[in-house]
């Protein structure tokens, strides 16, 4: 072992008086007549390890000398022995023989003194907030879920594809885009001349991608099962608790798979991720359950074992209308389901996750497979309690004539889709896929209510510091 055992590893050991070294940050220091108790956390797990310093150690003045500088937030190294702890709730503690203050955190200046700061306050301290219980737990769950996503797909024969972040196609239709330019816009504005994008880096307008799907479809038509997992950008000015300007998205795409298979994989995927969080992040989930979202664990356990309900859009709208519930936006057939509708369907009508299929073609993207009724497309959204849409997907239109017709109907620039149409010209296959917003998944799994709190550095309208 080239690295010292972490606190997580130490706490998993049988305490037998073995010599240990602990490095981390002080969470609290408490003094009694006989001893000083120092709680240390190194982020390896939710739990702290407790170091106990006897108040009087013969010939160990240095130990007491180091103590005054040891305050909440300071970094320290302690050396001692791992012994069974008499305190309840912890198996082991460290009987400290040596202590070294590495980096001080003066109490009059270090901002994280209180036990519980508001999430709003902590958002202004993105560089320090990860030292709190909440953000440490979010970071660990985020890591485990990212790993689980790769595990899920790799174990099922999917290949991980890196799709581009810069795109010159402005008609993906998934949301407002950020423009990318190398032109000196200020100088052009001063000159009074119009902007000539032929002089721009790519010779035309370019943007940050809103989805990797169209690009990953090309790989799907050769490798059969593929997925992307990368950053995605939308100039959403909506300022909701569910939208970021920069977020991560997972987009699997499967050849020879129709809507039914797509629903099955999406369901298995969500259940796999939720089960993994419950088993491998149990300590962090227990914290979220107690402090952030009471009942979280039970609701996740239910999601992991209950089959998802299926419902067509048409039935969903009928149920919404029949409910006579008060909505800000009155639902009708043809409307884009609002978050309030989605929540109502999953929380009140179904009482669990639900897959809604066959949406009106007018409210969905051009590439979705057109159904025989001429009105709907083979779309599927997965809705979950607490915020609604977590996954949006569909079977793709794979018939050249129908896809071309749709592009014409919507007056999209056909030239720009030449390569995409080629996939339908040569060896076309039925295929399906979906997009899972990574941060939406994390909100669901952790119970955190604001999407800005499940990504290390949130980017949203007027928020891009750090
Ligand atoms: P919504 O209606 O919630 O804005 P959407 O219909 O725009 O979502 P899609 O284009 O289908 O979403 O994108 C696929 C997934 O990406 C969504 O199901 C969601 O999980 C996630 N997502 C979409 N927009 C955002 C955003 N601005 N921030 C974070 N996640 C997002
Ligand atoms: Mn959106």
Distance from Cα 437 to the centre of ligand 1, integer Å:
6
Atom of ligand 1 nearest to the CA of 249: 16
* Ligand 1 pocket, mutate which of 243, 245, 363, 365 (most atoms under 8 A from CB): 243
Please tell me the number of the ligand nearest to residue 444's CA: 1
Atom of ligand 1 nearest to the CA of 441: 20
Residue 332 CB partners (closer than 8 Å, separation 6+): 317, 321
Domains and CATH numbers, the chain: 7-103 (2.40.50.140), 129-453 (3.30.930.10)
Neighbours of 81 (CB within 10 A): 15
Nearest CA to ligand 1 atom 27: 243
Please tell me the number of the ligand nearest to residue 173's CA: 1
Pairing of strands 49-54, 92-103: parallel
Res 195: pLDDT: 95
Q: How far is CA 384 from CA 197, 308, 319, 347, 449, in A?
A: 43, 10, 17, 8, 14
Res 268: pLDDT: 98
Res 89: pLDDT: 84
Atom of ligand 1 nearest to the CA of 440: 20
Q: How far is CA 392 from CA 23, 201, 267, 449, in A?
A: 44, 33, 12, 20
Res 404: pLDDT: 97
What is the model's pTM?
0.95
Please tell me the number of the ligand nearest to residue 249's CA: 1
The pLDDT tens digits along the chain (466 residues) read: 689 999 999 999 999 999 999 999 999 999 888 899 999 999 999 999 999 998 766 655 556 666 888 999 999 999 999 999 998 888 999 999 999 999 999 999 999 987 778 999 999 999 999 999 999 999 999 999 999 999 999 999 999 999 999 998 865 666 799 999 999 999 999 999 999 999 999 999 999 999 999 999 999 999 999 999 999 999 988 789 999 999 999 999 999 999 999 999 999 999 999 999 999 999 999 999 999 999 999 999 999 999 999 999 999 999 999 999 999 999 999 999 999 999 999 999 999 999 999 999 999 999 999 999 999 999 999 999 887 899 999 999 999 999 999 999 999 988 889 999 999 999 999 999 999 999 999 999 999 999 999 999 999 998 888 8
Alpha helices in 3-127 (DSSP H): 7-12, 61-66, 119-123
Res 171: pLDDT: 58
What's the rounded Cα separation, in Å, for the pair 55 and 65? Answer: 11
Distance from Cα 345 to the centre of ligand 2, integer Å:
19
Distance from Cα 178 to the centre of ligand 2, integer Å:
14
Atom of ligand 1 nearest to the CA of 382: 18
Distance from Cα 436 to the centre of ligand 1, integer Å:
8
Distance in Å from the first CA to the final CA of the chain: 35
Res 136: pLDDT: 98
Nearest CA to ligand 1 atom 29: 243
Nearest CA to ligand 1 atom 25: 243
What residue ranges line ligand 1, CB within 6 angstroms? 174-175, 234, 236, 242-244, 247, 249, 389-392, 435-437, 439-440, 451
Question: Is the separation of the CB atoms in 92 and 82 below 8 Å?
Answer: yes
Atom of ligand 1 nearest to the CA of 392: 11
Nearest CA to ligand 1 atom 8: 389
In a 3-state reduction of DSSP, which class is residue 256?
coil
In a 3-state reduction of DSSP, which class is residue 329?
coil
Please give the order of strands across the beta sheet that includes 225-233: 159-160, 225-233, 246-255, 431-437, 388-395, 376-384, 354-360, 309-312
Count Cα atoms within 13 angstroms, Cβ side, for 250. 24
Q: How far, in whole angstroms, is CA 375 from its chain's centroid?
A: 34
Please tell me the number of the ligand nearest to residue 381's CA: 1
Which H helix or E strand runs over 289?
Answer: helix 282-291
Distance from Cα 465 to the centre of ligand 2, integer Å:
23
Neighbours of 184 (CB within 10 A): 10
Question: Is the separation of the CB atoms in 123 and 129 below 8 Å?
Answer: yes
* Ligand 1 pocket, mutate which of 142, 435, 459 (most atoms under 8 A from CB): 435
Tokens 């972490």 found at: 6
* Ligand 1 pocket, mutate which of 142, 171, 173, 175 (most atoms under 8 A from CB): 175
Atom of ligand 1 nearest to the CA of 451: 29
């Amino acid at each position: 072992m080239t690295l010292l055992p972490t606190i997580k590893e130490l706490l998993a050991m049988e305490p037998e008086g073995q010599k240990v070294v602990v490095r981390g940050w002080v969470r609290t220091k408490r003094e009694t007549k006989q001893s000083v108790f120092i709680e240390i956390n190194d982020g390896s797990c939710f739990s702290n390890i407790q170091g106990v310093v006897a108040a009087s150690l013969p010939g160990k003045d240095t130990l007491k000398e180091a103590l005054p500088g040891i305050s909440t937030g300071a970094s320290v190294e302690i050396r001692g022995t791992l012994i069974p702890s008499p305190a309840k709730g912890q198996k082991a503690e460290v009987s400290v023989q040596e202590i070294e203050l590495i980096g001080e955190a003066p109490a009059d200046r270090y901002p994280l003194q209180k036990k519980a700061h508001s999430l709003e306050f902590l958002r202004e301290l993105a560089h320090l907030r990860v030292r709190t219980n909440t953000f440490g737990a979010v970071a660990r769950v985020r890591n485990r879920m990212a790993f689980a996503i790769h595990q899920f797909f790799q174990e099922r024969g999917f290949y991980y594809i890196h799709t581009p972040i810069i795109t010159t196609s402005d008609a993906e239709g998934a949301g407002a885009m950020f423009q990318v330019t190398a032109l000196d816009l200020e100088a052009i504005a001063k000159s009074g001349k119009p902007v000539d994008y032929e002089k721009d880096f790519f010779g035309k307008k370019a943007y940050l991608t809103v989805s990797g799907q169209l690009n990953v479809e090309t790989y799907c038509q050769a490798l059969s099962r593929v997925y992307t997992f990368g950053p995605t950008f939308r100039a959403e000015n909506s300022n909701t608790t569910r939208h970021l300007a920069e977020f991560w998205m997972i987009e699997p795409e499967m050849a020879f798979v129709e809507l039914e298979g797509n629903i099955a994989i999406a369901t298995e995927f969500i259940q796999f991720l939720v089960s993994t969080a419950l088993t491998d992040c149990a300590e962090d989930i227990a914290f979220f359950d107690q402090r952030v979202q009471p009942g979280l664990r039970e609701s996740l356990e239910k999601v992991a074992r209950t089959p998802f309900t299926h419902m067509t859009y048409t039935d969903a709208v009928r149920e919404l209308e029949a409910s006579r519930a008060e909505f800000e936006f009155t639902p009708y057939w043809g409307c884009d389901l609002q978050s309030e509708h989605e929540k109502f369907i999953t929380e009140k009508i179904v009482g669990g996750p639900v897959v809604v299929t066959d949406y009106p073609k007018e409210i969905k993207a051009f590439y979705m497979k057109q159904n025989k009724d001429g009105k709907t497309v083979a779309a599927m959204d997965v809705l979950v309690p607490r915020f609604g849409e977590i996954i949006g997907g569909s079977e793709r239109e794979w018939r050249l004539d129908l896809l071309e017709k749709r592009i014409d109907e919507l007056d999209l620039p056909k030239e720009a889709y030449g390569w995409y149409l080629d996939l339908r010209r040569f060896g076309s296959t039925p295929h399906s896929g979906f997009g899972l917003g990574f941060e939406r998944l994390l909100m669901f799994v952790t119970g955190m209510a604001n999407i800005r709190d499940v990504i290390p550095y949130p980017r949203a309208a007027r928020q891009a510091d750090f």
